[in-house]
Amino acid sequence: MATVTEIPPFTNEAFLDWNDPENVRQMEAALEDLRSEFDRTYPLIIGGRKVTEGERDTARSPSEKDLVLGHTIRATAGQARDAIEAAEEAFRTWRKVPWEERAEYLFRTAEALRERRFEFAAIMVYEVSKSWVEADADVAELIDFVEYYAREALRLGQPQPVVPNPGEQGHLRYVPLGVGAVIPPWNFPAAIMGGMTMAAIVTGNTVVLKPAHTSTIVAAKFAELLVDDIGLPGGVINFVPGPGAVIGDVIVDDPRTRFIAFTGSKEIGIRIHERAAKVHPGQIWLKRTILEMGGKDSIVVDETGDVDAAAKGIVAAAFGFQGQKCSACSRAIIVDDVYDEVLEKVVAGAKRLTQGNPTDRSNFMGAVIDEKAFGKISEYIGIGKDEGRLVLGGDVKSPDETGGYYIPPTIFADVDPDARISQEEIFGPVLTFIRARDFDHAMEIANNTEFGLTGALYSTRRDRLDRASDDFHVGNLYLNRKCTGALVGVHPFGGFNMSGTDSKAGGPDYLLLFTQGKSIAERV
């Protein structure tokens, strides 16, 4: 079994080169191969046992709303409790498995994901309408999480030194918490889903995984990979998809649940936090919540910034994956001197973006996730027409006309900093331009929301870059680059205020959230 000294240093997984004909061939083959599985039903996994009977939920593609991708068994409240019981039983032995052995499961998982990289990317092209580039980046990030957390486990699994005390031998040990609920989002259905799951598992916890209802297929395949291919012991991971109203509250409220790792909206995050705070009969701990929530992220450009670079960064950050990232740029705060120039360049760049079914690799943008999101974003576009000057987009066609939930890039200019489209998370391809009098005013606007996830500043003045480092109140700040695209290990990710508990996924502190410290001192 590998030791700390035998493991090479962590490096981020390289993205696939789509100019390579072989990569294109393999991706096209993966997309075609998946079509033969579209009528498959994926089982629940509880205690290592696959449950194939029960009511089914059908997964459809947002790009082709009538295209059925597969089915999952809908877990009942009773099955959610069974999953917690199975996880509780497995925890008794899994917590005692050496850290090195648990890390070895992760290294094997990373290797299996590399072998099935095109398959997992292709699933996301169909299931959440990711472009080839975005889907591959999602798989690469999952591999990064798995590799990084395996190495972190090897580091944290060693006895941690403490200050010596004469006559005693002492150390600090990190021990697992127990049964955890992992409730991931649909927008990074491989990376975040798998990252939270493997962080919990490698630290000795057991997991009840309830995926987002719009991205169940990729989670089902990942759970099967862990059980069938990697050979995780039964009950270490339990896969129970189903409506939050039916099983989500059951999992969060159960006194046997020790922690909840969640990524999603502010509203659901607050609800989980509130419910987790209640101590139920038989519960002997305060539940821990690890919450990654929303954002209303800004890119600031001052009069000294590189206007061309800023415009490219804004377009990529606002419209990549249809703006459906908590880190997406939804506000461009531009100092008056360069406002018109930046706006003109961003509009021109957005006009060049291609949109359509992402099975065609030439399309930069696909569809938004579902009918509910389509309706919400459309409503905000209507609000924006009253709150700002529409300079691009705004003409949203019916899904019945296009066949999918397509919303084109939409930009509103001259919007008040306190307007609804400046303050509320839209989670779609809608960008607000806000004019600032000067840099001081721009910084004031940048900090005027309840969120604090990502932000960026384009400037050539050192004093302003330094000031943003101190005063731009976000968990992930980027200087002279776009505000999306965090890399595991390079940019530990998590935000302030209503953006969550600043969990810093992919950073050296993250695994500590899934453990508790135990100080051991022995008189000698």
Options 119, 292, 387, 425, the catalytic residue: 292
Told to judge if 329 belongs to the known catalytic residues of this protein, a careful annotator would answer no
Of the candidates 504, 494, 445, 435, the one whose C-alpha atom is nearest the C-alpha of residue 471 is 445
* 137: pLDDT strictly greater than 90: yes
Q: Name the pLDDT band for 245 (thresholds 50, 70, 90).
A: confident
**Three-class secondary structure assignment of 395-450:** CCCCHHHHCCCCCCCEEEECCCCCCHHHHCCCCCCEEEEEEECCHHHHHHHHCCCC
DSSP single-letter state for residue 229:
I
Confidence band (pLDDT; 50, 70, 90) for 514?
very high
How many domains in the chain? 2
Residue 2 lies in a domain: no
- pLDDT for 352 equals 98
Q: Give the model confidence (pLDDT) of 356-404 as tens digits.
A: 999 999 999 999 999 999 999 999 999 999 999 999 999 999 999 999 9
Q: Quote the distance between the C-alpha of residue 421 and its chain's center.
A: 23
Q: Let me know whether 253 and 315 are in one domain.
A: no
Q: What is the pLDDT of residues 475-511, one digit of tens each?
A: 999 999 999 999 999 999 999 999 999 899 999 999 9
Q: Is the pLDDT of residue 348 over 90?
A: yes
From CA 285, how far away is CA 177, in angstroms rounded? 10
pLDDT of residue 6: 80
User: Does 355 share its domain with 460?
Assistant: yes
Give catalytic status of residue 292 as yes or no.
Answer: yes
Q: Please tell me whether residues 83 and 202 are part of one structural domain.
A: yes
Residue 72 belongs to some domain of the structure: yes
**Which pLDDT band holds residue 104 (cuts at 50, 70, 90)?**
very high
Q: Is the pLDDT of residue 1 over 70?
A: no
Evaluate if residue 190 carries a pLDDT over 60: yes
- Structural domain includes residue 524: no
84 and 106 assigned to the same domain = yes
pLDDT digits (tens, 9 = 90+) for 443-480: 999 999 999 999 999 999 999 999 999 999 999 999 99
Average pLDDT of the segment spanning 95-110: 98
Q: Are residues 113 and 98 in the same domain?
A: yes
Which of 72, 77, 127 is CA-nearest to residue 241? 72
What pLDDT, on the 0 to 100 scale, is given for residue 3? 52
Let me know: does 130 contact 4? Beta carbons within 8 Å.
no
The pLDDT of residue 24 is: 98
CATH number at residue 436: 3.40.309.10
On the question of pLDDT at 4 being above 70, the answer is no
Q: Is there a single domain that holds both residue 112 and residue 260?
A: yes
Q: Can you tell me which residue has the tokens 């721009």?
A: 442
- Yes or no: say if 71 and 42 are a contact pair by the CB < 8 Å rule: yes
Is residue 236 one of the residues assigned to a domain?
yes
Residue 307 within a domain: yes
- Tell me the average pLDDT of the chain: 97
On whether both 316 and 333 belong to a single domain, the answer is: yes
Question: Whose CA is closest to 114, among 141, 143, 136?
Answer: 143
CATH number at residue 282: 3.40.605.10
Q: Are residues 315 and 263 in the same domain?
A: no
The tens digit of pLDDT for each residue in 53-78 reads 999 999 999 999 999 999 999 999 99
Q: Are residues 281 and 150 in the same domain?
A: yes
In a domain, 497, yes or no: no
- Under the banding of pLDDT at 50, 70 and 90, the label for residue 5 is low
Q: Tell me, yes or no, whether 81 lies in a domain.
A: yes
At CA 194, angle to CA 188 and CA 198, rounded to 5?
A: 150
Buried b / exposed e along 145-157 (16+ C-beta atoms within 10 A): bbbbbbbbbbebb
260 in the same domain as 277: yes
Angle between helices 462-471 and 439-446 (to 10 degrees): 20
CA 31 to chain centre: 23
* Domain ranges, residue 47: 32-162+169-293+503-517
**Residue of 13, 88, 134, 326 marked active site:** 326
Among 29, 198, 43, which residue's Cα sits nearest to residue 116?
29
Q: What is the pTM of this model?
A: 0.97
Residues 213 and 316 in one domain: no
In a domain, 9, yes or no: no
311-323 tens-digit pLDDT: 999 999 999 999 9
Would you state the torsion angle of the CA atoms of residues 385, 425, 328, 381, taken in this order, to the nearest 10 degrees? Answer: -20
Q: Do residues 242 and 329 share a domain?
A: no
